[in-house]
Amino acid sequence: MDLKAAGVIVDGEGAENQVKRVKMDKYQLVPRKRDIRDFRKKSRNAHYLKSHLRNAGIRLMLNELCSTVVFECPPDEEFIRKWQLACQGDIAHFIVVPNMTVEKQLDKFLDELFEKCAVIKMEHFSRLVLHLN
C-alpha cells in the first residue's frame, strides 16, 4: 500500500507539504462547482427550447441528462449553417452550451426558425391553392 498516495505523512514529509495538499484539494473543487453550475444552466436552457418548440407544434426529443435538443430538420440550408445545426436526414441537433442566453441566442433562434417555418408553410399553402385552381 502506498502511504504517500493515501495521504499519510511519510518520513521526511512535513506539515508544509500537507498544507499544499489541502490547498490542491480545495482548488480541485472549483471546477466541479463550475461544471454543476454549467450543467444546470444548459439543462434549463434546453428545457426552455424544448417547451417553445413543442408549443409551436414541432416534433422533438430531449434526453433529460443531455443538453442536445433533437427536432425536425428545417429545410433552409442557410439557416442550418448559420446556427451550426448537426443534421442527419430529416433530424437536426441543437446543442445548448453554457454561454448561451435565452435573450440573445435562444429567442433569436426560435424567432428565425418560426419565421422560416411560416414562410415554408405559406409557400406550401400557395402551391396547394394553385394546384386546386
pTM greater than 0.75 (yes/no): no
Q: If pLDDT is split at 50, 70 and 90, which confidence band does 80 have?
A: very high
Across 70-98, average pLDDT: 91
* DSSP strand pairing (68-72 vs 86-88): unpaired
Nearest of 85, 39, 84, 28 to residue 65 by alpha carbon: 39
From CA 48, how far away is CA 109, in angstroms rounded?
12
Question: How far is Cα 19 from Cα 44, in angstroms, rounded to an integer?
Answer: 39
Question: How many CB atoms lie under 10 A from the CB of residue 57?
Answer: 8
What is the Cα Rg of the chain in Å?
A: 25
Answer with the residue of higher pLDDT: 10 or 131.
10
Name the more confident of 7 and 97.
Answer: 97
Closest CA to 43 of 69, 61, 17: 69
Is pLDDT of 76 > 80? yes
